[in-house]
Structure 1
Amino acid sequence: MLTRYMKYSCYLLLGCLLATGCQKLEDINVDPTKPTTTQPQYLLTGAEKSAMDIIYAGPQNGRIGMPYAQYWTGNDKANDSRYLLDEGINAALWNNLYSISLHNLDEIIAMNRAEPTPVSPNQIAIAHILKAWIYQVLADAYGNIPYTEALQEEGNIRPAYDDAQTIYNALLDTLQAQTAAMDPAQGSFDAGDVIYNGNVDAWKKLAHSLMLRLAIRMADADPARAQAVIAANYQQAMAGNADNAQFQYLATAPNKFPYNDSDRPLTEFFVSATLVDYMQSTGDPRLGIYARKAGDSTYRGLAYGTSETNPNRLPPSNYSLPGKKIYAADMPGILMTYPEVAFILAEAAARGFATGADAATHYEAGVRASMEYWGVSNTDSIGAYLARVPYDANDWKNVIGTQKWLALYPQGLQGWFERLRLDFKKPGGDSLFIAPLDGSLDENVTYVPYRLTYLVSEQQQNTANYQAAASAIGGNTKGVKLWWNMQ
């Protein structure tokens, strides 16, 4: 088949060359079976799905996000929990977000601006909101990244890297401008939007919520800007789980959750003892959702960073795998949920920022909303749990930090970022996290990576800009803290 196709292609190319003389080769090299144009709704679906697919894929979430947040540790992928970063997995995260997701969103904006009036400000705004989400993920994972010169394709294949703090401020400005431009009375996406089905009001709430996420992450590095942003946006942000932003996967191929066990058992990762032991100590009703019982009908996590050859490891059946719902084919890809917003406001209130209520109120709302999200509906059980993990103004960082960390499961990257930013412990001050039990495999980091290293391809193909970026942040190692990490 392939030989026949190549022979036919050669005859076709020869005929075209004879017929067209000096016609450019790129004008000939077009596959007539593939569309050369598309529509914004298809680009939007592609952007949403490609971003969720890579962020929640087994290699990226399972081997970077979840272990760095210390939710999971490896069974037969133990080296990832000891910080040996796989360069192919790292490259796929960066390349997919830039080359597919951000590219599609940029095309949506360009198509709307190229169309005769009326242009859809809502389609442009939605694309910008999703771009802001993705760019923050990249900036929080790597530090300085290509931004102003990114996505220029043939115009600039070696983009400069922008300062991450400057990117943060630009994202806040963009989100503010786009929410102001949105108009529910005008057209949006009639199809293609899996997250909100084109609902303009819902997208505006997400934009305000993302501004809260940006603001709280910079709260130690730029408290004045953080306080102002939170005060200006908290009233328009998510107010309940009905506002959650998530990509709903289906139970049938090819639209299943990217890492699911519907077709085969998944045994690459165990839930960490860090998570299991803490949830058991507080009688957390979510434990049976986050993890499965081991073969002896108990919940048992594996000590974080245990090597595959550790002689004290029990047989695999003795450890808890992630919960069935976490591995379900129709598990949604989470962009942001109300529980996170509630914990942002709890922390902001604890810092003295204006949030409309005190920290204890927001904290309780976050715990209750997380329970509701995971299907824990017994109010007595939730009330009893809150009594075991009460809000304490004198220990707000540890109290809010642990509950936010639990609520962010299984958002590995976001859980990792928050672990770094707050450096929280158990309420009361005892350590929650541990260094890898059998040691780190990265000489630059022993306790937890502060960032991902830049791609090898960037070092080779965008050398000058890579070197400038690495120098600006203090070196291209996982041991370099990012600008917002003041702990």
Structure 2
Amino acid sequence: MTIKHFLKYSGAILALVCLIASCRKFDDMAHDPTKPTTADPKYLLTGAQKSAMDLMYSGLQNGFIAMNYAQYWTGNSRTNDSQFNLDEGNNTALWNNLYRISLHNLEDIIKQLQSKPGEANTANQIAVARITEAWIYQILADAYGNIPYTQTFESATNITPKYDDAATVYKALIDTLEKQITVMNDAEISFDAGDVIYGGDVAKWKKLAHSLILRLSIRMVNASPDLAKQKIEAHYKDAISSNAEGAQFQYLDAAPNKFPYNESERPIIDFSVTETLVNYMKSVNDPRLPIYARPAKNTDTIKGMPYGWAASDTNRLALDFYSYPGRQIYSATMPGILMGYPEVEFILAEAAARGMQVGDAATHYENGVRASINYWKDLTKNADITDQTISDYLKIVPYVAGDWKNVIGTQKWLALYPQGFQAWFERTRLNFSKPGGQPLFIAPVSGSLDPSVKMVPYRLTYPQSEQTQNKASYEQAVSALGGDTKGTKLWYNKF
């Protein structure tokens, strides 16, 4: 067993992504964030936030995996990923870095602060770390299914933690979030520095905790409808209620703190936007389309590429005939979105459509559409989008109670761009079509390279290293899941 393998689940790692020892603001950072500097909790928090966000928006994880599976983008010269051939290096990095960097940083914060009971703001700081952990654990559970949870940080010597049932993890995460809400005191700050997401604002962290409970609850609504209803009705009034309250990581136009996948220094040609996305947005005159995609170089018009089209197909035109993602999406200062107000409103629209007591479904739906378009309008300073623009758009895509799944699902999918992972999870969970019932998504044009998947993967396979380093726990997890394939449905998809 190498030292690298030993450290995989141990608590000994400090901050592979801790950011500087001398500055108190993210704006002032000039250090390489991959090099350890200090174990001070505020810098551990910055490191945990940034390392997780960097993965969520990396071209390797978000681009080649999630944006493909959400069918927002399709590969260009490298097309195997769009045909469901998972790159093991990218997959392993997602698993290892979330556990070994982000979660370890957060657990280190908690252990440090628990050793100093009674100090000012300690409870708030621990709560912020716990809420951030809950966000990351849900990503892992939604990407893989059963995951190490209760034994992950049990001791520094346990390098073979058991995998916990994902449904049990979900319930534990809800319990954790509810506990943090009760212990936080929003009359005080949490961190005086280091919190790039909310700047130590406890009231906003509490809103995020309520909102994450909504996300967890709606995702398990088919598997545990009574619990989902109970939690949504209990928490919806205190969730994020405006774009200004959204949780996001603001990147800067200065290395090493730029958006992880940006073209400020070189053009990016790895992906084209899909015909799926472009054609639907054109069909409803969606005002976000010029933001989500840019005109093709050879035609000066926005044209999507059919999803999963192999580069070897001679019928495929040159790349300059298809559209790349929009310039804002590749901006060095593009925010990393953790959870926004539009998602909250679409959750509540679905909850209301399912009969939960959270208000009117049509109102929440319209709020979600307006919030999404206004978010992009404000971010890009687009004066062409007005309130009348949005009102006209809503007439084209009205709420239809009898078709709520497709209506809400399609608009939520559009609103989640470019949050590839959340969009992929919702695509498989809600299984929606275009409003009216016509298919929105297609199978890869050049076929799937994974015999277990035809239309879309339901999960990622476990990293191959788990089969040797944590063999017994891995085999138990695979048995419980019913197989380690991308076609194996997650617990909340088996309905």
TM-score of the pair, normalised by structure 2:
0.90
Report the Cα distance in structure 2 between the residues aligned to 1:116 and 1:231, rounded to whole angstroms. 34
Q: Deviations over 1:33-66 (max 9, x none)?
A: x988621100000000000011110000000000
Matched position secondary structure for 1:335: strand
Structure 1 ranges of 4+ moved more than 3 A? 34-37
Alignment of 1:164-179 (within 5 A): 164-179=166-181
Q: Residues 249, 232 of structure 1: CA spacing in aligned structure 2 closer, same or farther, 3 A cutoff?
A: same
State the aligned residue count: 455
> Is the Cα–Cα contact under 8 Å of residues 421 and 486 in structure 1 kept in the other structure?
no
- Paired residue for 1:391, among 393, 399, 405? 399
Q: Deviations over 1:269-297 (max 9, x none)?
A: 00000000000000000000000001201
Partner in structure 2 of residue 447 of structure 1: 455
Partner in structure 1 of residue 65 of structure 2: 64
Q: Deviations over 1:391-444 (max 9, x none)?
A: 000000000000000000000000000000010000000000000001000111
Q: Does 1:336 pair with 2:339? A: yes
Partner in structure 2 of residue 457 of structure 1: 465
Pair member with larger Rg:
1
Matched position secondary structure for 1:155: coil
Report the Cα distance in structure 2 between the residues aligned to 1:276 and 1:36, rounded to whole angstroms. 45
Partner in structure 2 of residue 324 of structure 1: 327
Partner in structure 1 of residue 9 of structure 2: none
Alignment of 1:76-225 (within 5 A): 76-118=77-119, 120-152=122-154, 154-225=156-227
- Paired residue for 1:361, among 360, 363, 378? 363
> Is the Cα–Cα contact under 8 Å of residues 461 and 486 in structure 2 kept in the other structure?
yes
Identity of aligned residues (%): 62
Report the Cα distance in structure 1 between the residues aligned to 2:368 and 2:469, rounded to whole angstroms. 45
Matched position secondary structure for 1:277: helix
> Is the Cα–Cα contact under 8 Å of residues 122 and 182 in structure 1 kept in the other structure?
yes
> Is the Cα–Cα contact under 8 Å of residues 98 and 151 in structure 1 kept in the other structure?
no
Report the Cα distance in structure 2 between the residues aligned to 1:421 and 1:344, rounded to whole angstroms. 13
> Is the Cα–Cα contact under 8 Å of residues 347 and 397 in structure 1 kept in the other structure?
yes
Q: Does 1:294 pair with 2:296? A: yes
TM-score of the pair, normalised by structure 1:
0.92
Name the aligned partner's letter for residue 459 of structure 1.
Q
Q: Deviations over 1:141-165 (max 9, x none)?
A: 0000000001346330000000000
Matched position secondary structure for 1:372: helix
> Is the Cα–Cα contact under 8 Å of residues 189 and 201 in structure 2 kept in the other structure?
no
Shift of residue 486, structure 1, vs aligned partner:
3.5
Alignment of 1:229-378 (within 5 A): 229-295=231-297, 296-355=299-358, 357-375=359-377, 377-378=385-386
Name the aligned partner's letter for residue 481 of structure 1.
K
Partner in structure 2 of residue 425 of structure 1: 433
Partner in structure 1 of residue 15 of structure 2: none
Q: Deviations over 1:189-226 (max 9, x none)?
A: 00000000000000000000000000000011100000
Report the Cα distance in structure 2 between the residues aligned to 1:184 and 1:322, rounded to whole angstroms. 40
Report the Cα distance in structure 1 between the residues aligned to 2:345 and 2:156, rounded to whole angstroms. 43
Q: Residues 395, 199 of structure 1: CA spacing in aligned structure 2 closer, same or farther, 3 A cutoff?
A: same
> Which consecutive unaligned segments of at least 5 residues does structure 1 have?
1-25, 27-33
Report the Cα distance in structure 1 between the residues aligned to 2:336 and 2:155, rounded to whole angstroms. 29
Report the Cα distance in structure 2 between the residues aligned to 1:77 and 1:229, rounded to whole angstroms. 43
> Which consecutive unaligned segments of at least 5 residues does structure 2 have?
1-11, 13-34
Name the aligned partner's letter for residue 334 of structure 1.
I
Name the aligned partner's letter for residue 467 of structure 2.
Q
Name the aligned partner's letter for residue 349 of structure 2.
A
Shift of residue 95, structure 1, vs aligned partner:
0.5
Report the Cα distance in structure 2 between the residues aligned to 1:84 and 1:361, rounded to whole angstroms. 41
Partner in structure 1 of residue 445 of structure 2: 437
Q: Deviations over 1:226-263 (max 9, x none)?
A: 00000000000011101100000001111000000000
Matched position secondary structure for 1:413: helix
Shift of residue 186, structure 1, vs aligned partner:
3.5
Partner in structure 1 of residue 22 of structure 2: none
Q: Does 1:54 pair with 2:55? A: yes
> Is the Cα–Cα contact under 8 Å of residues 189 and 202 in structure 2 kept in the other structure?
no
Report the Cα distance in structure 2 between the residues aligned to 1:238 and 1:339, rounded to whole angstroms. 9
Report the Cα distance in structure 2 between the residues aligned to 1:244 and 1:229, rounded to whole angstroms. 20
Name the aligned partner's letter for residue 232 of structure 1.
A
Partner in structure 1 of residue 481 of structure 2: 473
Matched position secondary structure for 1:484: helix
Name the aligned partner's letter for residue 180 of structure 1.
T
- Paired residue for 1:410, among 412, 418, 421? 418
Matched position secondary structure for 1:374: helix
Shift of residue 187, structure 1, vs aligned partner:
4.3
Report the Cα distance in structure 2 between the residues aligned to 1:406 and 1:213, rounded to whole angstroms. 17
Partner in structure 1 of residue 3 of structure 2: none
Matched position secondary structure for 1:334: strand
Q: Deviations over 1:377-398 (max 9, x none)?
A: 4111111110000000000000
Matched position secondary structure for 1:192: coil
Report the Cα distance in structure 2 between the residues aligned to 1:298 and 1:87, rounded to whole angstroms. 36
